[in-house]
Amino acid sequence: MKNIFRIISFLEGVSYLLLLFIAVPIKYFQGDVSYVKMLGMPHGILFMSYVVMAIVIQKKMQWNLKNLGVVLLASIIPFGTFYVDKKYLQK
């Protein structure tokens, strides 16, 4: 389960960065929404999977509510999921 969560965490982080730093600027500066449409759905699915998996593995990883909160908050902060991998998942 932990390895699956690490993969989802990595993919969610990458998809968020692609959306935030590539697709959205293209949308607003060039008026091309195709990249947002192409990346939006996969990112949404990965985001929901990240949240569900974090809740599922909370007990296995022995996270208290504060740690779970940090892990969940990291999903909406750019580069946050990479921090979670380094701090909470590589142990």
User: In angstroms, rounded to a whole number, what is the distance separating the alpha carbons of residues 19 and 5?
Assistant: 21
Per the domain annotation, does 73 fall within a domain?
yes
The tally of domains found in the chain comes to 1
Write out the chain's pLDDT in tens, 91 residues: 889 999 999 999 999 999 999 999 999 999 999 999 999 999 999 999 999 999 999 999 999 999 999 999 999 999 999 999 999 888 6
Residue 40 is predicted with a pLDDT of: 93
Q: pTM, whole model, 2 decimals?
A: 0.89
Per the domain annotation, does 59 fall within a domain?
yes
Instruction: Give me the phi and psi of 88, to 5 degrees please.
Output: -110, -25
Per the domain annotation, does 44 fall within a domain?
yes
Per the domain annotation, does 46 fall within a domain?
yes
Per the domain annotation, does 49 fall within a domain?
yes
**What is the domain extent for residue 80?**
2-86
